[in-house]
Amino acid sequence: MQGIMRILFAGLLLLSATVLCQDAGVTLRYRNFISRHVGQVSRDRCDQEMGSRRLTTISGSNECKATNTFIGATTNRIRSICGSAGAPYGGTLTRSLQPFPIVVCELKNQNARHPHCQYRGRAYTRYIAIQCEQGFPVHFERDIVSFD
């Protein structure tokens, strides 16, 4: 009987560790999402925001990132898309039921390399499509003009 209890206890510990690791992964992806996409960004400050958030380069290279979208809303409002303020969209994504103010920063000088990345900002009000995990936004997929 003690052997069975030890096996059950060991299994429970392993399961708990797995759940904690998954939760930590979601938390990290959520924090990355916030740092990359959330905040009141002026369309005239794309260079500064991209630089201060270290978003100017593609991972593992010095090639300038072509585009990045900033969502001008609170984290709670964006997170609500993963619940009652969102609807399924294109398989694994969730779309907002209400439009959001966004600023899209696009690279002006194509083929530029860091530290010479320069961005042009454009402000819009659009619906957004995100990926959610365990009730948290973890990936910005795209903005949506309308749902025709």
Is the pLDDT assigned to residue 15 strictly greater than 70? no
Segment 16-43 mean pLDDT: 80
Measured between alpha carbons, how far is residue 30 from residues 64, 127, 132 in Å?
Answer: 23, 20, 9
Q: Would you call 139 a catalytic residue per the annotation?
A: yes
* Domain count for the chain: 1
Contact 130, 141 (CB under 8 A): yes
The residue from 37, 65, 79, 126 that is catalytic is 37
Give the type of residue at 19: V
What CATH number is given to the structural domain containing 36? 3.10.130.10
Segment 80-102 shows an average pLDDT of 96
Q: The whole model's pTM is what?
A: 0.81
| Catalytic-residue membership of 116 | no
Which residue range is the domain that position 94 belongs to?
2-144
**Cα separation, 38 vs 72, whole angstroms:** 6
Among candidate residues 45, 114, 139, 142, the one labeled active-site is 139
**Three-state secondary-structure class, residue 71:** strand
Q: What is the pLDDT of residue 79?
A: 97
Helix and strand counts by DSSP (H, E) for the chain: 3, 6
